[in-house]
């Protein structure tokens, strides 16, 4: 479990003003100071450990985790954590239908990949003018902001990690509709009732977001390592191609030997029968 001192040093316990409080966050609030709500860091640590264990299990099963944080303090943190894990992320804007209508969103990804291929081969195959290439580059930059992080999104999506439930309301609703479990940082002004794994914390301070997201990312990395180990163990259990060929050759040789012995027996029986017929004919004479 994470150290409580690290949570306090990062400012995880600072909430919003009392006038902006969501009543459903009362179980996670410890007190009030200078009209500012204070979050109970012991409950934050407990919920964080629970969410980390869940993400580790999801990653160990080989499922993908989608990381979402479009507010400015969380954009760089989310993108760097997801890229280190080689997992999909959304850091600029949530595209409607990313989960519920991925077939249409995938068309934008295909268009982006096509334009990137055209620009990459523009020097080798100069079919487009310089102005057209500049237009393609602008379109690529626009598409990369919206769908660049989800180009490697694979199904089924095992979990969704959110920063600020109030801002990522669309992503939360789509995850609920598609049955995707949600892990979210929930501040004192947000509704935690729709989140599967609530992490009560300050979702505005970059230090707080970085500490919690990195902790979750480390758990996901451990899950991916477990998945690789399990895959290696399964490969070791399966016989190698050379071993299979050796077994097949041994079986073939046994079959051939059995066939040869049968033919040899037939030849011997035929020779004995010929000798008997010759002997009988000689005796008759």
pLDDT over 60 at 261, yes or no: no
Quote the CA–CA distance of 163 and 69 in Å, as a whole number: 5
Q: Give the confidence band of 255 by pLDDT, cuts at 50, 70, 90.
A: very low
Q: Cα 123–129–130 angle (5° rounding)?
A: 75
Q: Which of 2-11, 209-218, 237-246 has the highest mean pLDDT?
A: 209-218
Return the SS3 of 196: coil
Show the tokens assigned to 80.
């760097």
Q: What is the pLDDT of residue 15?
A: 80
Confirm if 43 and 9 have CB atoms less than 8 A apart. Answer: no
- The C-alpha torsion from 52 through 55 and 57 to 62, rounded to 10°, is -150
Quote the CA–CA distance of 75 and 69 in Å, as a whole number: 6
Q: What is the pLDDT of residue 283?
A: 47
Q: Which helix (H) or strand (E) holds 148?
A: none
Q: What is the pLDDT of residue 144?
A: 85
Quote the CA–CA distance of 201 and 208 in Å, as a whole number: 8
- DSSP per position, 69-131: --SHHHHHHHHHHHHHHT--EE-S-PPTTTTTSHHHHHHHHHHHHHHHHHHHTTTTS--S-HH
pTM comes to 0.74
Residue 100, Cβ neighbours under 10 Å: how many?
13
Selected residue with higher pLDDT from 257 and 4: 4
Beta bridge partners of 90: 68
Query: What residue has token string 């005796």?
Result: 283
Across the chain, mean pLDDT equals 81
Query: Counting every residue, how long is the chain?
Result: 285
Query: Cis omega before residue 156 (within 30°)?
Result: yes
Confirm if 189 and 166 have CB atoms less than 8 A apart. Answer: yes
**Least confident among 59-73, 142-156, 178-192, 269-283:** 269-283
Show the tokens assigned to 236.
């070791």
Confirm if 64 and 55 have CB atoms less than 8 A apart. Answer: no
Q: What is the pLDDT of residue 203?
A: 85
> What is the largest distance, in Å, between two alpha-carbon atoms of the chain?
135
Q: What is the pLDDT of residue 252?
A: 55
Q: What is the pLDDT of residue 268?
A: 56
């Amino acid at each position: 479990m994470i150290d409580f001192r690290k949570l306090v040093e990062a400012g995880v316990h600072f909430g919003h003003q009392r006038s902006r409080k969501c009543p459903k966050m009362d179980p996670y609030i410890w007190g009030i100071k200078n009209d500012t709500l204070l979050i109970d860091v012991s409950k934050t640590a407990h919920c964080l450990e629970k969410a980390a264990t869940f993400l580790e299990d999801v990653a160990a099963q080989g499922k993908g985790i989608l990381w979402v944080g479009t507010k400015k303090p969380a954009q760089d943190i989310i993108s760097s954590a997801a890229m280190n894990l080689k997992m999909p992320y959304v850091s600029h804007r949530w595209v409607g239908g990313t989960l519920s209508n991925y077939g249409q969103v995938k068309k934008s990804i295909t268009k982006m990949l096509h334009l990137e291929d055209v620009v990459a081969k523009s020097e080798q195959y100069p079919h487009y003018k310089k102005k057209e290439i500049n237009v393609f580059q602008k379109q690529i930059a626009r598409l990369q902001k919206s769908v660049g992080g989800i180009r490697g999104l694979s199904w089924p999506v095992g979990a969704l990690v959110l920063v600020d439930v109030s801002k990522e309301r669309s992503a939360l609703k789509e995850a609920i509709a598609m049955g995707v479990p949600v892990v979210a940082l929930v501040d004192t002004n947000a509704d935690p009732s729709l989140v599967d794994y609530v992490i009560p914390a300050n979702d505005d301070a970059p230090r707080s977001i970085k500490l919690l997201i990195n902790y979750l990312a480390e758990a996901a990395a451990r899950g991916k390592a477990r998945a690789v180990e399990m895959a290696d163990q399964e490969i070791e259990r399966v016989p190698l191609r050379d071993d299979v060929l050796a077994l097949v050759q041994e079986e073939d040789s046994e079959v051939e030997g059995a066939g040869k012995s049968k033919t040899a027996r037939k030849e011997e029986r035929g020779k004995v029968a010929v000798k008997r017929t010759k002997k009988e004919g000689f005796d008759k004479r």
